[in-house]
């Protein structure tokens, strides 16, 4: 059986989010109104799925260039106009059809809607779909893990876990900023980050944060080492950028290049700040990853990885070639760590080519 792609899984999860949020909010409103029954609950689930389909496949990309509040307003207006139009068509088409009331009685669909109050029902639909769009948009803005952590209070106290961290940094960012100017450089950077989306989904990565022209990705240790996701992501991003090189050159006169550092181990995750709260990662792994990335810049290589992380992927040398060991001092020079350059192998016509 063919494995469902990461992008398809992402879209299915998004539809499920809309269905769950809409069903929850709709059920609460129906309970207050005293009109809840099984058919109405299923209607809210269908409404959530319909909202997700519209937002993901029809309207989602059309509003991404807008500010976040305008994205929400635009999506809510567009989705609700389509939804109310669909409900109007359904009422016109339901003439002569009836719904079960759960006690053996049947009532025409139009009469059922009228009994609730058609305008009140339309208002409920607008409220429920708007809340669903808002919740999913905030969840995407924060990231699924951090959003759930805020809701459930996971990070009120520091939590310890083993994670893989990949940090990539744009080569020559200062010179690019001066050459392009602030506004064009921002467009250049945003376009570049958008090109990474498919690769991030394919390799189950979480985007921890953007720090200027630097992007920090994380995985659980199991997810990051599974299928060598942490290594594959970097080269997948590079391939994606290379495939759009002509487009980037035509629009900006330059194509982006990145260098990265990769490490894994024990990380502390906790909520920080009081006036402005955030969930951050801290510990030796974060500092070491930054040092590895700096070493990649100094060595003028694309990607370097610590031997400690490679030891957790014993068969990685079947797909990647690793350079000679290089010593890196960490923790103020108290100890040394071995790091190595990474190149990907490709089998071409029975031979192995290193890229």
Instruction: Give the residue from 163, 166, 155, 143 showing the smallest Cα distance to 279.
Output: 155
> Is the pLDDT score of 65 beyond 70?
no
3-state secondary structure of 17: helix
Q: Could you give the angle at the alpha carbon of 223 between the alpha carbons of 157 and 318, nearest 5°? A: 145
DSSP 206-221: EEEEEETTEEEEEEEH
Q: What is the pLDDT of residue 252?
A: 92
Mean pLDDT of all residues in 215-224: 93
Per-residue pLDDT band for 349 (boundaries 50, 70, 90) equals very low
Instruction: Give the residue from 55, 77, 76 showing the smallest Cα distance to 11.
Output: 55
Number of Cβ atoms within 10 Å of the Cβ of 116: 16
What are residue 331's DSSP bridge partners? Answer: none
Q: Could you give the angle at the alpha carbon of 63 between the alpha carbons of 46 and 190, nearest 5°? A: 125
**What percentage of the chain reaches a pLDDT higher than 70?**
76
Higher pLDDT, 317 or 140: 317
Which phi and psi angles does 305 have, rounded to 5°? Answer: -135, 150
Q: What is the pLDDT of residue 63?
A: 66
Mean pLDDT of all residues in 344-355: 50
Q: What is the pLDDT of residue 274?
A: 67
- Mean pLDDT score across all residues of the chain: 80
Q: What is the pLDDT of residue 68?
A: 65
For the stretch 259-311, pLDDT in tens is: 999 999 999 887 776 666 667 788 889 889 999 999 999 889 999 999 999 99
For the stretch 28-49, pLDDT in tens is: 877 776 666 777 788 888 888 8
> Is the pLDDT score of 72 beyond 80?
no
CATH of 156-354, one of 3.40.190.150, 3.40.50.800, 3.30.70.1230, 3.40.630.10: 3.30.70.1230
Give the dihedral sign, CA 321/322/323/324: negative
Mean pLDDT of all residues in 192-202: 89
Q: What is the pLDDT of residue 346?
A: 64
> Is the pLDDT score of 233 beyond 50?
yes
Q: What is the pLDDT of residue 4?
A: 65
The CA distance from 355 to 218, in Å, is 24
Domain ranges of the chain: 6-142, 156-354
Instruction: Give the residue from 314, 354, 312, 321 showing the smallest Cα distance to 340.
Output: 321
For the stretch 84-126, pLDDT in tens is: 777 777 666 655 555 455 555 555 555 555 555 566 777 888 8
For the stretch 246-259, pLDDT in tens is: 999 999 999 999 99
For the stretch 131-182, pLDDT in tens is: 888 888 887 776 666 777 667 767 677 788 899 999 999 998 889 988 999 8
Q: What is the pLDDT of residue 91?
A: 63
> Is the pLDDT score of 351 beyond 50?
no
Burial of 75 (0-12, 13-18, 19+ CB in 10 A): buried
């Amino acid at each position: 059986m063919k494995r469902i792609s990461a992008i398809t899984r992402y879209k299915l999860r998004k539809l499920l989010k809309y269905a769950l949020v809409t069903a929850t909010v709709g059920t609460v409103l129906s309970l207050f109104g005293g009109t809840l029954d099984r058919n109405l609950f299923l209607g809210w689930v269908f409404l959530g799925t319909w909202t997700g389909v519209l937002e993901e496949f029809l309207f989602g990309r059309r509003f991404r260039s807008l500010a976040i509040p305008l994205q929400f307003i635009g999506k809510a207006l567009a989705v609700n106009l389509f939804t109310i139009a669909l409900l109007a068509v359904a009422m016109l088409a339901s003439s002569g059809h009836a719904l079960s009331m759960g006690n053996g009685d049947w009532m025409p669909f139009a009469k059922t809607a009228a009994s609730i109050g058609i305008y009140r029902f339309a208002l409920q639909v607008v409220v429920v779909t708007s809340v669903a769009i808002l919740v999913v948009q905030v969840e995407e803005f924060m990231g699924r893990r951090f959003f759930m952590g805020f809701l459930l209070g996971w990070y009120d106290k520091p939590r310890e876990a083993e994670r893989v961290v990949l940090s990539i940094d744009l080569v020559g960012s200062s010179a690019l900023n001066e050459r392009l100017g602030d506004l064009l450089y921002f467009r250049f950077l945003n376009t570049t980050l958008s090109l990474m989306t498919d690769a991030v989904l394919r390799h189950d990565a979480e985007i921890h944060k953007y720090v200027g022209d630097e992007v920090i990705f994380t995985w659980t240790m199991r997810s990051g080492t599974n299928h060598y996701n942490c290594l594959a992501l970097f080269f997948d991003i590079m391939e994606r950028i290379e495939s759009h090189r002509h487009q980037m050159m035509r629009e900006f006169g330059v194509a982006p290049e990145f260098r990265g550092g990769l490490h894994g181990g024990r990380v502390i995750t906790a909520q920080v700040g009081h006036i402005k709260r955030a969930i951050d990662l801290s510990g030796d792994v974060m500092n070491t990853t930054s040092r590895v990335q700096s070493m990649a810049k100094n060595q003028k290589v694309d990607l370097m990885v610590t031997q400690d992380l490679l030891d957790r992927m014993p068969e990685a040398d079947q797909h990647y070639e690793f350079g000679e060991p290089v010593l890196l001092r960490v923790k103020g020079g108290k100890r040394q760590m071995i790091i190595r350059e990474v190149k990907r192998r490709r089998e071409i016509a029975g031979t192995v080519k290193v890229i």
